[in-house]
């Protein structure tokens, strides 16, 4: 395949490190892989290579996407969870990076601080891919943008409103990605949940170059006017203490994505969510917190989640195609 490894040897740690053209090329490469997969065309371009997946936090989509994408590309995979290896407890990130670099051709890392994945990349001599940190979730954004492109035929000029805890990995990464791609991004949250000032400043500067815009808005009804995409994420992220649920529910409830909000947006609006989502009582945590705080839904109503405007499962599938593109481009 022509131009496959256009980021050869590079890490994939955050979208701030990539140019708009590189992001666009990854999305188009993913679309191409998706077409091949649907047509049953084999694409084992990296036969004989092996990758390691380090997950310090749990995962369904990201892990499965890396595993299946790697196998489709002809590669072998080793999964290391937070308990089953020496990482952190008996061996530092720096030592782990150098050990795994001798055995593998690429390393995925999901963990806590962004500094950890950056440190791993500093010491590794093979590409390192960020599978989620507290600050950023860059592979998710590629899947989101592929999904948006499939739906609207474009990314630039799309108005995306992020509702809820906008200062964490999803809010931050969507804001960076939107700025890079010339989208109109709105972080809709109470002041305390808005992204950090320095990141907002950086993204505004990028948006000024790409024709996009970055807006912070506390009023949901104002924010969703003319929105093409309403996006949300859980109110309590992995690694956060259970004790924050009460405060989050009380402060973020006005930002729940419900039918009234969807109806106030553009005619063609879609609902997106990185998943997993608390839209009913069918999970242990959803049930426990729902019963404790007398609610049946959290960040999104079941009605919106299950509606025709919800494209969350197409979005989830696209994790695999876009992660495949990231590996193929960097290996
Ligand atoms: N969206 C996402 O990253 O899902 P997982 O936590 O299941 O990987
Ligand atoms: N903000 C969420 C994203 C999950 C994909 C978390 O970090 O748990």
Quote the pLDDT of residue 82.
86
Contacts of 150 (CB under 8 A, 6+ apart): 31, 314, 318
Nearest-CA residue for ligand 2 atom 2 is: 237
Quote the pLDDT of residue 196.
98
Quote the pLDDT of residue 2.
55
Q: Positive or negative, the Cα torsion across 178, 279, 196, 214?
A: positive
CB 235 within 8 Å of CB 189: no
Nearest-CA residue for ligand 1 atom 1 is: 274
Joined tokens for residue 247? 């405060």
Nearest-CA residue for ligand 1 atom 6 is: 59
DSSP annotation string for 112-153:
S-HHHHHHHHHH-SS-EEE---SS--HHHHHHHHHHHHHHHS
233 as an active site residue: the answer is: yes
Nearest-CA residue for ligand 1 atom 3 is: 62
72 as an active site residue: the answer is: no
Quote the pLDDT of residue 32.
97
CA distances from 88 to 50, 56, 102, 327 (A): 22, 10, 19, 25
Contacts of 222 (CB under 8 A, 6+ apart): none
Q: Is the CB of 57 under 6 A from ligand 2?
A: no
Quote the pLDDT of residue 88.
87
Q: How many CA atoms does the CB half-sphere of 170 hold within 13 Å? A: 26
Task: Residue count of the chain, please give it.
Answer: 331
- Best residue among 238, 240, 272, 273 to mutate for probing ligand 2's pocket (most ligand atoms within 8 Å of CB) is 238
CA distances from 45 to 48, 232, 286 (A): 9, 36, 42
Between the CA of 59 and the centroid of ligand 1 the distance, in Å, is 5
274 as an active site residue: the answer is: yes
In 3D space, the residue among 11, 3, 1 whose CA is nearest the CA of residue 326 turns out to be 11
Q: What are the average pLDDT values for consecutive 10-residue runs of the chain, which has 331 residues? A: 85 98 98 98 97 97 98 98 89 97 98 97 98 98 98 98 98 98 98 98 98 98 98 98 97 98 98 98 95 96 98 98 98 98
Q: Is the CB of 64 under 6 A from ligand 1?
A: no
Catalytic, out of 11, 61, 72, 110:
110
In 3D space, the residue among 103, 45, 18, 111 whose CA is nearest the CA of residue 324 turns out to be 45
Quote the pLDDT of residue 305.
98
- Best residue among 54, 63, 82, 132 to mutate for probing ligand 1's pocket (most ligand atoms within 8 Å of CB) is 132
Across the strands, what pairs with 52? Answer: 78, 107
Across the strands, what pairs with 168? Answer: none
Q: Is the CB of 275 under 6 A from ligand 1?
A: yes
Q: Positive or negative, the Cα torsion across 149, 212, 61, 94?
A: positive
- Best residue among 237, 245, 319 to mutate for probing ligand 2's pocket (most ligand atoms within 8 Å of CB) is 237
Q: Is the CB of 180 under 6 A from ligand 1?
A: no
Segment (H or E) for 32 = helix 20-38
Q: What's the distance, Cα to Cα, between the start and end of the chain in Å? A: 13
């Amino acid at each position: 395949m022509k131009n496959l490894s256009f980021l050869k040897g590079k890490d994939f740690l955050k979208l701030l490190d990539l140019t708009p053209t590189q992001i666009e090329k990854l999305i188009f490469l993913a679309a191409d892989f998706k077409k091949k997969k649907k047509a049953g065309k084999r694409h084992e371009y990296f036969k004989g290579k092996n990758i390691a997946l380090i997950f310090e936090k749990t995962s369904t989509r990201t892990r499965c996407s890396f595993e299946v994408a790697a196998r489709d590309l002809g590669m072998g995979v080793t999964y290391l969870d937070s308990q089953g290896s020496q990482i952190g407890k008996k061996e530092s990130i720096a030592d782990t990076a150098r050990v795994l670099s001798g055995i593998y051709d690429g390393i995925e890392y999901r963990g806590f601080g962004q500094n950890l994945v950056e440190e791993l990349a500093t010491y590794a001599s093979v590409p390192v891919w960020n599978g989620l940190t507290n600050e950023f979730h860059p592979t998710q954004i590629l899947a989101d943008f592929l999904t948006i492109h499939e739906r609207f035929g474009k990314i630039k000029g799309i108005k995306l409103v992020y509702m809820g805890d906008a200062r964490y990995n999803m809010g931050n990464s969507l804001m960076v990605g939107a700025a890079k791609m010339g989208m109109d991004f709105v972080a809709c949250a109470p002041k305390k949940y808005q992204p950090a000032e320095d990141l907002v400043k950086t993204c505004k500067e990028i948006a000024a170059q790409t024709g996009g815009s970055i807006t912070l808005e506390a009023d949901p009804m104002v924010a969703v006017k003319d929105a093409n995409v309403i996006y949300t994420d859980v109110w309590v992220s992995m690694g956060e203490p259970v004790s924050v649920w009460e405060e989050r529910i009380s402060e973020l409830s006005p930002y729940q994505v419900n039918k009234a909000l969807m109806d106030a947006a553009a005619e063609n609006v879609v609902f997106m969510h990185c998943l997993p989502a608390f839209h009913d009582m069918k999970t242990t945590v959803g049930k426990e917190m729902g019963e404790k705080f007398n609610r049946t839904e959290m960040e999104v109503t079941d009605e919106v989640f299950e509606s025709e405007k919800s494209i969350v499962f197409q979005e989830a599938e696209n994790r695999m195609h876009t992660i495949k593109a990231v590996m193929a481009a960097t290996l």
